[in-house]
Amino acid sequence: MNENWQSIAAIAVVLITVVLFAVRAAKRRKKPGCGGGCGCAK
């Protein structure tokens, strides 16, 4: 029983870490501001 909950906890930590990295990567790809096409010289 002891090993079972530790395995589940380890998998949960890995999944949370992967999700956080994915969210940060997705935010980094978005361009700040309007993204162009509005005549603001961006």
| Residue 38 is assigned to a structural domain of this protein | no
| Residue 26 is assigned to a structural domain of this protein | yes
The pLDDT of residue 8 is above 70:
yes
Q: Cα–Cα distance between 15 and 34 in angstroms, integer?
A: 33
| Residue 40 is assigned to a structural domain of this protein | no
User: Per-residue pLDDT tens for 11-26?
Assistant: 999 999 999 999 998 8
| Residue 21 is assigned to a structural domain of this protein | yes
Report the pLDDT value the prediction gives residue 22, as an integer from 0 to 100.
93
| Residue 42 is assigned to a structural domain of this protein | no
Looking at the 3D structure of the chain, how many domains does it have? 1
- Residue 8 structural domain: 1-30
Q: Under a CB-based contact definition with an 8 Å cutoff, are residues 11 and 3 in contact?
A: no
pTM of the predicted model, to two decimals?
Answer: 0.58
| Residue 37 is assigned to a structural domain of this protein | no
The pLDDT of residue 27 is above 60:
yes
Report the pLDDT value the prediction gives residue 14, as an integer from 0 to 100.
97
User: In percent, how much of the chain has pLDDT > 90?
Assistant: 45
